[in-house]
Structure 1
Amino acid sequence: MTVVQPPPTAGRAKLTLGSKGFIAVLSMCMAVTALGIDTILPAYDDIRESLDLDPDATEVTGLVTFYFMGNSLGLLPAGLLSDRFGRKAVMWGGLALYIAGAIGSVLAPSLGVMFVFRFIWGLGGAGPRVASLAMIRDGFSGEQMARQMSLAMAVFLLVPAVGPALSAGVLAISSWEWVFWMCAIAAGVVATLVTRLPETLADESRRPLAARSVGRSLRTVFATPGTAWYLLSLTALFGVFMSYLATSELIIDQTYDLQSWFPLFFGGIALVMLGAMLVNSRFVERLGLRRLLGMAFVASIVSIVALLVTSLATGGEPPFWLFVVLISAVLFCQQMLIPNINAAAMRPLAEVAGTGAAVLGMVSGALGAVIGELINRQFDGTITPLSIGFVVSGAIAFAAWRRAEQAVG
């Protein structure tokens, strides 16, 4: 039996574990994180102009990097707090901080100050993100947990599909500040929907915030066989994915001179990743995590090598249609890998689900942001630096996953 029923609580919301409404609300809680990224990308040019930056200034990619860093570093406090006070309280607190960061970014007088508020904005997004993953782990285990994570991530990936287009629509009739206000308003709506979720953490399962208890939770996470290797695998994959998010607008604009196509391109790629999540949710229970991950890694290695070879053969500027085909294949495989590696790492962490989700997200996200920024700085107007990043990160991720599976046995 893989489904674990939540504890009975007074005034429990009507949504039940595993229902479409339950998954939809959790997806929206995680989607506000993506909304804070994907809607910003089309506004790069307007932000450059507003802050008197050079039209080709790459410093604006820091808006993504600082957001990711805040989001990643906020995961551990959010996880510890969710194990102490429950999942819903952390969701509401995080969404309040998210809204404050968005409003502060609107009012920021310079790019440096905006970076600070983007960090706060990302910090707030950590609460709903980690609490959502902990709720899934509270209620499910094994392949069923991986399936629920994939379904939640599938809805979550609709944001990149529509976010840039929505942002472009806002920019067509108003200023970039209204893109940020849109994110704040969306977070307020999600906070209202959270009232319908059940609290999945029983009172007797809550862990104190005393230093000894916190230390014991962290030791439980890191002492679990395979955790460190799963973390390394996730970090490598997140790092290059963050670089794709940050530089995709630059590639479309500077490499292909197709700036007006960016919302369509980014949305189309998001739909490809959505398809990967749906395929994963369909087959993970049939094939099992280990077998499906092995197949996904093989496909990933083939696709990233093809991308790099094509880049080197064309001087880093392959035909646009070929680039779209190859990057779609690469990211399809990435989205088959990330949720399943995360689920594999979470399987033995039921007693510390909040802390476990936080550690996995924080370490992979924070270090991944640094790796992503290092790749970003190599951008030379071609796709070659990103292609090399995919190959190196893919090799590290595969080797680490193999070691994790050996440790688990």
Structure 2
Amino acid sequence: MATAAAAGRAAPGPGQIEFIALMAMLAATVAFSIDAVLPALGDIAEEMSPDAPNLAQFVLTAFVLGMGAGTFLAGPLSDAIGRRPTVALGAALYCAGAGWGFFAQTLEGLLLARLIQGIGAAGPRVTMLAIVRDRHSGPEMARIMSFVMTVFALVPAVAPLLGAGIIAVTGWRGVFGAFLVFSAISVGWLWLRLPESLPPPRRRPIRPALLMAALRETLSNPRVRRAIIVQMLAFAALFATLSSLPYVFEEPYGRGASLALWFAALAVLSAGGSLLNARLVGRLPLGWIVTGTMAVLAVLSFLAAALASAGALPFPAFWLWGVSVFFMAGLVMGNVNTIALEPLPHVAGLATSVVASLATVGAVALAAPVGLLYDGTPVPLTLGVGAMAGAGAWLARRL
């Protein structure tokens, strides 16, 4: 295993299992911040937008939008000052947003708090990818990312249940207190156990000329550009599903009260996507895995849309379709990141920022209209995901 030396000294680091768990914890900042809020959307809508309950889903959108914007800063910052300080600064901003959200009295104030949280969450998210790229490359990086995503996938199984429990005791504002605790644990773990993976000689100062040169290098590579668009489409499908699931579970199927339990089961099953990917990596080209996965999801989504239009999509079938969306993420996200970052090891931080930010902001732009088109049936969601997956499969043929 290729491991970067710590800055100026030989420092013991975590073993592979602990490293994977720590990277998953950093990545889970995003998943926990989204999934723990899902059970609270109804209460937030009732308190802050009773006349337009659909607007409550922007609590998710604002966070993801902030995260996309924050990635433009996190990558260059991590290249300039190191990975560990960048995580710490991002966590501080994330905690500030969580505190603001706890005391917010209007929907607009809550959305602004979530935007700040998202900007802060970009620090752990982007830096995690850069740390993995510092230490690994090629199929080994894809394999490590598959295991990271497997652990990461368990967070959506726990987060809604934890969120529902907190809400039952403290109300929805208590979830924002849980964000503070989660961030403190993950950053403390990193600071105590993981040596800096980017020593001073390899750092790049934040200079406009250097940033523009690295940006041009990243975007001038056709394969990287295609990987960004494929990641954007995959993330948009995932985010559209997350935004709409609480409404679909509640209205047409009457399962709103058991949302957390159904979502937990969905997340546990979909973790198999990452485990399967870990076995396929090295045996099949990464582009083949991505193309096949998104093509299958497109077919399943259009079939679900046709059945829903005819009123013949029972809840178990819809739930299994939801599993397929999250299963897709386990087979696609890590591989697309690996494809995008493989040619750019010398600008890993900035490349991670460009890839993640463009994919995330683009995903929000694609997913938000799907959520707003919700009409009391699963049709808009399944059609939207089918279109995104189909376009992704077509583009991924040339990865």
- Would the TM-score normalized by the shorter structure come out above 0.5? yes
How far 1:72 sits from its partner (Å)? 0.7
**Using the alignment, how far apart are the partners of 1:242 and 1:333 within structure 2?**
13
Which of 64, 68, 73 in structure 1 is aligned with 2:64?
Answer: 68
- Pairwise mapping of residues 2-401 of structure 1 onto structure 2 (< 5 A)? 3-9=1-7, 14-16=12-14, 19-51=16-48, 53-54=50-51, 57-195=53-191, 196-314=193-311, 318-401=313-396
1:269-320 deviations in whole A, cap 9, x for unaligned?
Answer: 2112211111111221232313333432343333223222322332xx6211
1:295-352 deviations in whole A, cap 9, x for unaligned?
Answer: 32343333223222322332xx621111112222243134312221221111111111
Number of aligned residue pairs: 398
CA contact (8 A) 1:167 1:179 kept: yes
**Using the alignment, how far apart are the partners of 2:321 and 2:110 within structure 1?**
34
**Using the alignment, how far apart are the partners of 1:231 and 1:13 within structure 2?**
35
How far 1:176 sits from its partner (Å)? 1.1
CA contact (8 A) 1:303 1:330 kept: no
Which structure 2 residue ranges, 5 or more long, are not aligned?
A: none
Q: TM-score, normalised by structure 1?
A: 0.93
Give the letter for the 2:82 counterpart.
G
SS at structure 2 position matched to 1:157:
helix
How far 1:113 sits from its partner (Å)? 0.9
Q: Residues 298 and 60 of structure 1: is their aligned pair in 2 closer, same or farther, counting only changes over 3 Å?
A: closer
How far 1:20 sits from its partner (Å)? 0.8
CA contact (8 A) 2:292 2:393 kept: no
Q: TM-score, normalised by structure 2?
A: 0.95
Give the letter for the 2:83 counterpart.
R
1:171-195 deviations in whole A, cap 9, x for unaligned?
Answer: 2222111111011111011111111
In terms of mean alpha carbon deviation, does 378-387 or 274-283 score higher? 274-283
1:139-192 deviations in whole A, cap 9, x for unaligned?
Answer: 111111111111111111211100000111112222111111011111011111
Give the letter for the 2:290 counterpart.
L
CA contact (8 A) 1:12 1:199 kept: no
1:234-290 deviations in whole A, cap 9, x for unaligned?
Answer: 111211211111111011011211111100111112112211111111221232313
CA contact (8 A) 1:104 1:117 kept: yes
Structure 1 segments (4+ residues) deviating >4 Å: 10-13
**Using the alignment, how far apart are the partners of 1:128 and 1:74 within structure 2?**
11
**Using the alignment, how far apart are the partners of 2:309 and 2:42 within structure 1?**
29
**Using the alignment, how far apart are the partners of 1:329 and 1:239 within structure 2?**
15
